[in-house]
Structure 1
């Protein structure tokens, strides 16, 4: 009967253990090589994708900036032509004498101001001026006028009064859409009108009220010149205002 040799068994166990460890290390090294290979390939694909996205974004931005420059050039030319027509009476839309005096004062005053984020601040009473105000804003912006308009500019969840104050500061001029509700002296409209009067660049637009109504409402308005929807369409009024508030930077 063969003798039991414990040392020999232990030696074989150590050898088996070492062999297993070696196999595990080799398997780990192989796996790591595969992981590194996959990571390198993924990085190559991500880098290539990022280059394509970056190139695409640069092109989009370049195209957008080019379009903005073209649009700005077109708007300046259109406004210059509109100014010529309004003052010469060579088109269906023209300034009356009081309107031209107002437009000239506004144009001169705006040209002397520092650049602002908005060309004008549109003040109105929502109860009876919302629809006309929206139409006026759209018509002005189509002509290249940057308009601060509460329904678009005010961000929900933030202080409405602080946002309105910021808009009043940033606007180079103001438009007061005077309606029956506006002339009742509501808190917001009175607050806005007070701030706009401090700018010395205020354009009254009358809707469903007369200059006599405005005279009774307040004696603090700088004058009774302005535009009225009784005489002109909203689109024509927008043209007259745009010609006054947009200053050609090349001039």
Structure 2
């Protein structure tokens, strides 16, 4: 550098620095462009992979939903078929029992009794899940003997009867147990006797609940419908069975024919 002035030397140094800075900047730009290219390429690959994964998941979800819809449609067809079959079976059983009750053999129904049996059978069949076929309400003072006999005959015929002498558990609330028994039965049998019609507490309580059932079956013992009419303006509108006309065995057979089919529908 002999012969160069100080200012020339400084100018050359500045020129060299600018060239170095230019080269560094150019290299940085190149590196940045390369990195951006690699990042963009990586992002494209990630996006493509994610789209493929989402598409595959969507296909599986669509296939699952289609299978669920197919199974639901099949189940609906099965349920509809079962409901139709059950309806036909109930109608068939009802008609068979109507013919049985009208047959020459066995206990004969009066028209009012047959209407009562048909109605009870139809209504009771709507509650196959209940534990008992009947709840037997009676006054112990003058209905115990007939009540025990009626319950025994019904159970011999296969009916399940809620009967306080058997069902009540000592030491527990009698009222609650009776209420539970009323709810557990498909129909109610009210054994109407003179003591029953005096309106004793338990019989009044049970009859009050039974009157709300369309499956109430009155059985009259030592009372007439005229006497019952004096006790209640509701019961005379219902048909009933009378021990003055039929034996307890025949009455049990008539009742069983109405309530037993509910356990087979």
User: If the length of structure 2 is used for normalisation, what is the TM-score?
Assistant: 0.61
Report the Cα offset of residue 207 of structure 1. Answer: 0.2
- The alignment status of 1:187 with 2:201, answered yes or no, reads yes
Q: CA RMSD in A?
A: 2.0
C-alpha separation in 2, matches of 1:227 and 1:199 = 17
Which residue of 85, 92, 111 maps to 1:97? 111
Select the residue among 108, 119, 136 that pairs with 2:122: 108
Q: Which residue of 2 aligns with 1:164?
A: 178
Measured at CA, do residues 105 and 248 of structure 1 come closer, stay the same or move farther in structure 2, by a change above 3 Å? closer
Partner residue of 1:38?
A: none
State which drifts further: 154-163 or 228-237.
154-163
SS at match of 2:170: coil
Indicate how the Cα distance of structure 1 residues 249 and 160 shifts in structure 2: closer, same or farther if over 3 A, else same: closer
CA contact (8 A) 2:137 2:207 kept: yes
Which residue of structure 1 lines up, in the alignment, with residue 169 of structure 2? Answer: 155
Hey, what does 2:227 align to over in structure 1? Answer: 213
Of 185, 188, 208, which residue of structure 2 is paired with 1:174?
188
Partner of 2:160: 146
Give distance in 1, aligned partners of 2:150 and 2:96. Answer: 20
Runs of 4+ in 1 over 6 A off after TM superposition: 79-82
Matches within 5 A, 1:24-39: none
- 1:222 CA drift (Å): 7.0
CA distance in 1, matches of 2:226, 2:99: 31
The alignment status of 1:196 with 2:217, answered yes or no, reads no
* Separation in structure 2 between the aligned mates of residue 250 and residue 112 of structure 1, nearest angstrom: 11
2:144 paired residue among 130, 135, 147: 130
**Secondary structure at the counterpart of residue 158 of structure 1:** coil
Could you tell me how far apart the structure 2 residues matched to 1:133 and 1:210 are?
17
The partner residue of 1:121 within 110, 124, 135 is 135
Give the TM-score of the pair, scaled to structure 1.
0.65
3-state SS of paired residue (1:245): helix
The residue that corresponds to 2:102 in the other structure is 87
What's the offset of the Cα at 1:249? 5.1
Q: CA deviation at 1:113?
A: 2.3
How far off is 1:84 after superposition? 3.9
Counterpart of 1:232 (choices 237, 246, 254) is 246
The unaligned stretches of length 5 or more in structure 1 are 1-78
When Rg is computed on C-alpha atoms for both structures, the one with the higher figure is 2
Q: How many residues align?
A: 172
